[in-house]
Amino acid sequence: MTNSSTQICVVIGASHAGVNFAFSLRKEGWEGSIILFDKQTAIPYHRPPLSKTYLTSGDDAKDKNVLKSHESYTKENITLQLGVSVKTIHREAKKITLSDGTLQQYDKLVIATGARPLIPDIKGINNAINIFTLRTIKDSEAIRNAIKKGGIKSALIIGGGYIGLEIAASLKKMDISVTVLERENRILDRVTTQNLSTFFKDLHTNNGVVIDTKKNVISIETHDNVNTVICDDGTRYNSDMIVLGVGIRVNTELAQEAGIAIENGIKVSAASQTSDKAIYAIGDCTYHHNPHYNRFVRLESVQNAIDQAKVAAASICGKMAIYDAIPWFWSDQYDVKLQIVGLFSNYNEVIVRKETGENKKLSIWYFNDKELLAVEAVNNAKAYVLGTKFIKGRKEINKTNLRDVSLTLSPSNLLLP
């Protein structure tokens, strides 16, 4: 790379994508300035624990949760500007306007603005008390503090996705009585198939969480510190606390107003470049092509944030870089660890494997004819790791052996010669 020492790379959003990008860019040899802006004031942190261990464990978990220490930014000469929000991108001038009105010049700009919780259009939602969303560390602390203050005995989670279910498990651990309301026929409807939905429904039910499906919330009435949530079938639920987990909205406005191409997110190339060659986008805010599955996707995962960050960093440093990752994801609820690899849509066959004698060890294998597309592994890291290898290598699986739980999970048992 030539002459990058006088160049400025500006990153909007300092979370999993933005922070990993900044460090990767240094590693790739960028000699110019790197400036990260985030409107939040907290030092960038891991988000997955916010609904899991961070929610239940308290302030002593704070240090554990930090993505990178202050010193590591200093060491790599990365400028972290917190509490500053970016208002406008001026593409012709290659400048951005900050919340205090000042302008910041850039040579390369990276948009890593992620997403925000979707606030559903429910009558009375603005007057409800102890109502929360969960995306930031402040949100997680607010939920925990409300419980610490006392007086909260029951919580309603609106939305049975991964985050909603993780919050349910955490609140249960904190001795709150929890009900999850899901609009569809089953929880996790958007992200998995019946098999895993049923597993998690049973898991939560056995742990004392009430899961009610086909419940479309239409209004909330609040009197005397109690919220009454009303569904379109007339059912009513009283609760001291409400947590909304109905999905996200991608933060694309900044890019859109600047005239950057948007399609279900900020549209990026295989190198994570937007329709403007000087501007890249990474993480939750992007809509991108996955070469392995040959389709466009928008993913909400740490894996995607980090892998796109690395690709963008390499590309900006003049290297050939193509985003070609097999998506992976995890979720921890109670004593259960779920690990997912691959994208299951387009499947036409599912093999469900329950290991004998071993509590809750389950794996769900998705195929399109001969091709293994995805594996969902419950307390079964071996299935996850094998699945990853097989999917990457497009290996053909011996399905008869896979169904036979008397045979252990191993390449020699599972691969066709």
Partner 1 sequence: MAKITFITSDNKTTVLEGSSGSVMQLAVDNNINGIDGDCGGVCSCATCHVHVHPDHFEKTGMPSDIENDMLELDDHVNAYSRLCCQIEINEALDGLVLTVAK
Residue 272 interaction partner, one of partner 1, ligand FAD, none, beta carbon < 5-8 Å per kind: none
Nearer to ligand FAD, 55 or 409 (CB): 55
Q: Assess 41 for contact with ligand FAD (CB under 6 A).
A: no
Binding residue for ligand FAD, selected from 15, 65, 130, 227, defined by CB under 6 A: 15
Phi then psi dihedrals of residue 391, to 5 deg: -65, -50
Q: Assess 134 for contact with ligand FAD (CB under 6 A).
A: yes
Residue 286 interaction partner, one of partner 1, ligand FAD, none, beta carbon < 5-8 Å per kind: none
Residue 254 interaction partner, one of ligand FAD, partner 1, none, beta carbon < 5-8 Å per kind: ligand FAD
Closest approach of ligand FAD to the CB of residue 133, in Å: 9
Residue ranges in contact with partner 1 by CB under 8 A: 23, 46, 48-49, 63-66, 68-69, 71-72, 75-76, 302-303, 306, 330, 332, 337, 339, 380-382, 384-386, 389, 411
Contacts 24+ apart (CB under 8 A), 184-191: 184/160, 184/213, 184/214, 185/213, 185/214, 186/160, 186/213, 187/160, 187/161, 187/211, 187/213, 188/160, 188/161, 188/162, 189/160, 190/161, 190/247, 191/161, 191/162
Q: Assess 146 for contact with ligand FAD (CB under 6 A).
A: no
Task: Tokens 């399609």: give the residue.
Answer: 263
Residue 342 interaction partner, one of partner 1, ligand FAD, none, beta carbon < 5-8 Å per kind: none
Q: Assess 165 for contact with ligand FAD (CB under 6 A).
A: no
Q: Assess 164 for contact with ligand FAD (CB under 6 A).
A: no
Residue 399 interaction partner, one of partner 1, ligand FAD, none, beta carbon < 5-8 Å per kind: none
Binders of ligand FAD: how many residues, by CB under 6 A? 35
Please give the residues from 187 up to 216 whose contact with ligand FAD meets the rule CB under 6 A.
none
Please give the residues from 357 up to 416 whose contact with ligand FAD meets the rule CB under 6 A.
none
Nearer to partner 1, 77 or 345 (CB): 77
What tokens appear for 57 in the block? Answer: 């464990």
Calculate the CA 199 to chain-centre distance. Answer: 21
CA angle 330/391/296 to nearest 5° reads 75
Residue 40 interaction partner, one of partner 1, ligand FAD, none, beta carbon < 5-8 Å per kind: ligand FAD
Calculate the CA 39 to chain-centre distance. Answer: 19
Q: Assess 50 for contact with ligand FAD (CB under 6 A).
A: yes
Nearer to partner 1, 27 or 403 (CB): 27
Nearer to ligand FAD, 83 or 393 (CB): 83
Q: Assess 243 for contact with ligand FAD (CB under 6 A).
A: no
Nearer to partner 1, 46 or 95 (CB): 46
Quote the CA–CA distance of 121 and 124 in Å, as a whole number: 9
Closest approach of partner 1 to the CB of residue 46, in Å: 4
Q: Assess 95 for contact with ligand FAD (CB under 6 A).
A: no
Q: Which residues contact ligand FAD (rule: CB under 6 A)?
A: 12-13, 15-18, 37-40, 47-48, 50-51, 85-86, 112-115, 134-135, 163, 251, 254, 283-284, 300-303, 305, 329-331
